[in-house]
A and B are shown apart, each in its own frame.
Chain A
């Protein structure tokens, strides 16, 4: 990586939009597994492995899988956020491998939210 100049910050902003934002990028769905200490101790690594397995099994190439930190509600970990393009992100809680598979098949592949495991849709109020 070269040393950044101030104007490079905006370039990175634009590049990032292409890779992480669904609207400008190639992705159709973004799956975020929340991997804070709380998530990991509740089994987020297994959840991640299952997500990766599901993606591989489906052969889909338009799914972005990423990690993030604690989502705040530690008592409901493991958590993951599924965002389908043009739709509000949905937070799923108290996950296990079976639920992940179901969410993947129903929400990620077919676009219908698995209400039983979903906590909420939308993003948090920041700033």
Chain B
């Protein structure tokens, strides 16, 4: 809380007077909860009352961000006393101003009474995992019942739709989106506003709005969580997009593997229809919009825009060349606007709170160039070798170190951090010395990785970088649609080379060939799947060349992971002869008498590692 307060003190107030020259600051919460509880009415009342008592020059009213104490809102903190008022309403203000601001007597009945006993339980704002997060797309996470539309409405839901339908022309909505600098959260990072603008300007009577909920990256699940936890935020975003581009029909392409999300989405659509928030003549403003759910069959490539549309048309999910734009010739050859779930979930907020607010979060400057920065927040699925796995939403520009160590709590079991893989299977691997990199679309691309959908896989010293590259390439070989040669054949060759390297059969010079093949696949593939597929190989080659060299030249795996290059052995000095490993070995490959050092018969050993796991003396090693 103090951080929020400090930030505001010293800033210019609306009248241009330095805040430090006021004797008292009224820090009024302007978070969603408090605003829907009437913060702005309270602000007006405060200013009215302060003026009445001629206190305007002495007492400043400052609107702050959320205190994270939402159930007690509207909240106001009076500084410098640090008095915390809760559950305020307009009618409390005349009394409050007269008593506290004028006569200096805090009003006890409006104060927050901290529970009497001392707590060992920390505040959520004191916990690293929550402290550095900023929830925009996930604003309702854990707070509303996703199956009750009224709970969404109670947190300003569908107000943005009401606002665009009553106060804004479609062109104005597009302008706001362009100015906001919001970029596609599905991975491409294309400015959403520009896409809407192009689609709006594309000729054609019938246009479509499509939501890409085909979240295929292993380890990424933010879209699923948004649909499961707050489906209406996405629906509202789609409706606003439809109004902006001049469409009345939407499709949601969702993975077959998301049964719970599907169930909740169906319920959300049915409820929205009942309330007339989808359907004909929404809010009696002459705007029609409805959506249809289309279930995908679980092909990774169908997350690619043109493959997704092909799949919806009933054709095989194969992409096409990019020079034909989907905003002009998309689904059934009609102008189509395709955005990702998280992108749509951001839209209502931008409409309600404005460009200035949104662009205050994030990096760069998007005033003249929507590519000039990355605004807002991004949700990451933080997984792998990290203490706190989960979904984290952070402002753009936060460093990888903050995400992994402050939010993620660092690496478990006292191991050393080695690398982090961002952007899903076709993202790159980023080493330790780049941990202070500010995370945004352009910075990640610059170091050979990408934002992607926001997968973030943390790896420790036990992970072999060659093996990681091999794993992702093998995944992509399976998911390549096979339409273009570079991706189909190139990836197969890359996979073959990597498998050779991991099994110690690679010839000298393989790394050069590997690099060349990767560059060919990256530059000649038809779609982004092939275009980005070599990223895991190229980035590991760039940052962990020594590991590749060890595999190729010395036939060794430094991380001790590639089975063909390692042998297990027991350190005779450490072994106390407890016989545990000998009993557990599935191959009966361990020999030795009781209380005497044991030995592994390498001819029988299958390198399963069970002996190392069960040993109490840490006497089993790999070389």
**Interface status of B134 (Cβ within 8 A of chain A):** yes
**Interface status of A88 (Cβ within 8 A of chain B):** yes
Give bound CA distance, A2 to B150, whole Å: 13
Total residues of chain A contacting the partner, CB 8 A: 53
A13 with B145: in contact, given A115-B119, A122-B68 (CB under 8 Å)? no
A127 with B71: in contact, given A4-B275, A32-B142, A72-B390 (CB under 8 Å)? no
Give bound CA distance, A72 to B121, whole Å: 19
Chain B 130-160 per-residue mask, 1 if CB under 8 angstroms from chain A, else 0: 1001111011111111110011011001110
Sample 23 A-B pairs with CB under 8 A, ordered by A number: A6-B162, A12-B153, A16-B154, A20-B154, A36-B228, A37-B258, A40-B260, A68-B141, A68-B146, A69-B142, A74-B391, A76-B390, A91-B124, A119-B127, A121-B124, A122-B124, A123-B124, A125-B66, A126-B66, A126-B139, A127-B66, A127-B134, A127-B353
Find out whether the CB atom of B66 lies under 8 angstroms from the CB atom of A75. no
For B87, give the chain A residue with the smallest CB separation.
A23
Give bound CA distance, A125 to B388, whole Å: 18
CB distance from A5 to the nearest CB of B (A): 7
Find out whether the CB atom of A127 lies under 8 angstroms from the CB atom of B139. yes
**Interface status of B597 (Cβ within 8 A of chain A):** no
Segment with Cβ contacts to B, from A46-54, A55-63, A79-87, A97-105:
A79-87
For A71, give the chain B residue with the smallest CB separation.
B142
Q: Top 8 A-B pairs ranked by shortest CB distance? A: A69-B229, A3-B276, A16-B154, A71-B142, A122-B124, A75-B389, A120-B124, A1-B274
Contact check: which of A9, A32, A118 meets B121 at CB < 8 Å? A118
**Interface status of B425 (Cβ within 8 A of chain A):** no
Find out whether the CB atom of A37 lies under 8 angstroms from the CB atom of B65. no
CB distance from A125 to the nearest CB of B (A): 4
CB distance from A93 to the nearest CB of B (A): 11
B230 partner residues in chain A, CB cutoff 8 A = 69
Task: List B15-34 residues whose CB lies under 8 Å from chain A.
Answer: 31-33
**Interface status of B81 (Cβ within 8 A of chain A):** no
A123 partner residues in chain B, CB cutoff 8 A = 68-71, 124, 143
For A89, give the chain B residue with the smallest CB separation.
B71
**Interface status of B284 (Cβ within 8 A of chain A):** yes
Contact check: which of A4, A15, A75 meets B388 at CB < 8 Å? A75
Work out how many contacts link A and B, with CB atoms closer than 8 A.
182
For B30, give the chain A residue with the smallest CB separation.
A127
List B residues at the A interface (Cβ < 8 Å): 31-33, 36, 65-72, 87, 113, 115, 117, 119-127, 129-130, 133-136, 138-147, 150-151, 153-154, 157-159, 162, 166, 221, 224-225, 228-230, 258, 260-261, 271, 274-277, 283-284, 349, 353, 387-392
For B112, give the chain A residue with the smallest CB separation.
A86
For B132, give the chain A residue with the smallest CB separation.
A125
Find out whether the CB atom of B70 lies under 8 angstroms from the CB atom of A12. no
Find out whether the CB atom of B275 lies under 8 angstroms from the CB atom of A3. yes
Q: A70-B228, A125-B65 are in contact. List 6 more A-B contacts (CB 8 A).
A: A70-B391, A121-B122, A123-B70, A125-B31, A126-B134, A126-B143
Give bound CA distance, A112 to B122, whole Å: 15
CB distance from A51 to the nearest CB of B (A): 14
**Interface status of A73 (Cβ within 8 A of chain B):** yes
Contact check: which of A66, A112, A125 meets B125 at CB < 8 Å? A125
Q: Which of A17, A67, A121 has the most CB of B within 10 A?
A: A121
For A73, give the chain B residue with the smallest CB separation.
B390
B143 partner residues in chain A, CB cutoff 8 A = 68, 123, 126
A69 with B150: in contact, given A6-B166, A120-B122 (CB under 8 Å)? no
A9 partner residues in chain B, CB cutoff 8 A = 153, 157-159, 162
Give bound CA distance, A43 to B113, whole Å: 35
A83 partner residues in chain B, CB cutoff 8 A = 71
CB distance from A100 to the nearest CB of B (A): 17
Find out whether the CB atom of B130 lies under 8 angstroms from the CB atom of A120. yes
Give bound CA distance, A45 to B561, whole Å: 38
A73 with B121: in contact, given A3-B276, A126-B31 (CB under 8 Å)? no
Find out whether the CB atom of B125 lies under 8 angstroms from the CB atom of A20. no
Give bound CA distance, A118 to B151, whole Å: 26
For A66, give the chain B residue with the smallest CB separation.
B145
CB distance from A14 to the nearest CB of B (A): 9
B153 partner residues in chain A, CB cutoff 8 A = 9, 12-13, 16
CB distance from B357 to the nearest CB of A (A): 8
B119 partner residues in chain A, CB cutoff 8 A = 113, 115, 121
A73 partner residues in chain B, CB cutoff 8 A = 129, 388, 390
A122 with B150: in contact, given A74-B391, A75-B388, A91-B124 (CB under 8 Å)? no
Contact check: which of B70, B125, B224 meets A37 at CB < 8 Å? B224
Find out whether the CB atom of B133 lies under 8 angstroms from the CB atom of A1. no
Contact check: which of A13, A68, A126 meets B154 at CB < 8 Å? A13
Give bound CA distance, A1 to B136, whole Å: 29
Find out whether the CB atom of B225 lies under 8 angstroms from the CB atom of A122. no
**Interface status of A22 (Cβ within 8 A of chain B):** yes
Contact check: which of A70, A74, A115 meets B229 at CB < 8 Å? A70
A68 with B142: in contact, given A40-B260, A118-B121 (CB under 8 Å)? yes
Find out whether the CB atom of A16 lies under 8 angstroms from the CB atom of B150. yes
A32 partner residues in chain B, CB cutoff 8 A = 142
**Interface status of A108 (Cβ within 8 A of chain B):** no
B129 partner residues in chain A, CB cutoff 8 A = 72-73
Q: Which of B140, B260, B271 has the most CB of A within 10 A?
A: B260
B130 partner residues in chain A, CB cutoff 8 A = 72, 120, 124-125
Find out whether the CB atom of A122 lies under 8 angstroms from the CB atom of B145. no
For B264, give the chain A residue with the smallest CB separation.
A69
Give bound CA distance, A20 to B149, whole Å: 13
Find out whether the CB atom of B120 lies under 8 angstroms from the CB atom of A112. no
Find out whether the CB atom of B146 lies under 8 angstroms from the CB atom of A69. yes
**Interface status of A90 (Cβ within 8 A of chain B):** yes
Q: Which of A2, A40, A70 has the most CB of B within 10 A?
A: A70
